[in-house]
Amino acid sequence: MRNLTDTDLTEAVIASFNGSERFKEIADSLVRHLHAFASEVQLTEEEWFAGIDFLTRTGHITDDKRQEFILLSDVLGLSMLVVGINNRRPPEATESTVFGPFFVEGSPAFENGDDLGAGAPGEPCFMEGRVLDLNGEPVPDALIDVWQADEDGFYDVQYADLDQPRGRGHLRSDADGRFWFWSVKPVAYPIPADGPVGELLAAGARGPMRPAHVHFKIEAEGFQTLITHVFADGDEYLDSDAVFGVRSNLIGHFEHHEPGAAPDGSEMDVPFWTMRYDMVLAP
């Protein structure tokens, strides 16, 4: 292990790892790609220090409310790559997309027809759909978790002074697989850009915006869990999502209505929106 050339060094580091087969597979590949990267760009020592400083600051800003490493993975496209590798499904099944950092375990329980917005600022939006299997048969009693940003582009957890959930909750599909609830019309919003990931985006002359969307996580016995979004049609950021999460068939139609009767029979005295989207689960 002396006088190693660049290539010998890579092989020596790989040979130094033992452990399980899977650990070695991952460690070997990581070292090979990491060394190849540094060699390819002829990394300077100053750049190496800048990289260490970047990762150190990414760690320091991360706590139980903010996960800068997930955000980094998201903007590097790693999250969507991992989603793709792990969610190969039949074409009829609804596609997955990024989980994002704003899911909260233990969201409030709602019944169909309730208002998940729970006071979130925004234009009222009635959302409905069915949970179906690959043959179009209803999936009853599916657990449907929903979370979204308000009209100012913030999730409830981003408000330091808000101690109530807002724009999030869970409900269950009925015997026909149907679900329906009120919330607010989602808007495009920037991912948190006031930390190291924001600096990375600025250095690359990239924007922080995500197209308007509503997050869904759907679990049902005998089916793969689906983590996805419904994106709003017509959004100006559909082709420049900061985290590369858009799939064409996840774009839903949000329809604007003047005051009047809503699909659930309620009488609206303000303009409102409706959106219908079916979720198809793979076994």
Choose from ligand BEZ, Fe ion, none: what does 71 bind? Cβ within 5-8 Å by kind.
ligand BEZ
- Minimum CB separation of residue 3 from Fe ion in Å reads 52
- Minimum CB separation of residue 116 from Fe ion in Å reads 15
> Given the complex with Fe ion, which of 130 and 210 has the nearer CB atom?
210
> Given the complex with ligand BEZ, which of 36 and 81 has the nearer CB atom?
81
> Given the complex with ligand BEZ, which of 54 and 103 has the nearer CB atom?
103
Please tell me the distance from the alpha carbon of residue 39 to that of residue 88, in angstroms, as a whole number.
34
Task: Confirm if 274 and 255 have CB atoms less than 8 A apart.
Answer: yes
Choose from ligand BEZ, Fe ion, none: what does 101 bind? Cβ within 5-8 Å by kind.
ligand BEZ
Choose from ligand BEZ, Fe ion, none: what does 132 bind? Cβ within 5-8 Å by kind.
none
Instruction: Give me the active site residues, please.
Output: 155, 189, 210, 213, 215
- Minimum CB separation of residue 80 from ligand BEZ in Å reads 10
> Given the complex with ligand BEZ, which of 101 and 108 has the nearer CB atom?
101
- Give strand pairing partners of 127: 181, 275
Those residues with Cβ within 8 angstroms of residue 167's Cβ, 6 or more apart along the chain or in another chain: 116, 117, 118, 120, 147, 148, 149, 150, 155, 156, 183, 184
Residue 250 DSSP SS3? helix
* Residues contributing to the site for ligand BEZ (CB under 6 A): 71, 74, 98, 100-102, 191, 210, 243
* Residues contributing to the site for Fe ion (CB under 5 A): 100
Burial annotation 159-180 (CB, 10 A radius, 16+ → b, else e): eeeeeebbbbbbbbbbeebebb
Which CA distances in Å does 147 have to 22, 144, 216?
A: 35, 10, 7
- Minimum CB separation of residue 243 from ligand BEZ in Å reads 4
Single-letter amino acid, residue 280: V
Task: Confirm if 181 and 171 have CB atoms less than 8 A apart.
Answer: yes
Choose from Fe ion, ligand BEZ, none: what does 171 bind? Cβ within 5-8 Å by kind.
none
> Given the complex with Fe ion, which of 100 and 208 has the nearer CB atom?
100
Choose from ligand BEZ, Fe ion, none: what does 166 bind? Cβ within 5-8 Å by kind.
none
Nearest residue (beta carbon) to ligand BEZ:
100
Give Rg (Cα) of the chain.
Answer: 22
Please tell me the distance from the alpha carbon of residue 5 to that of residue 233, in angstroms, as a whole number.
55
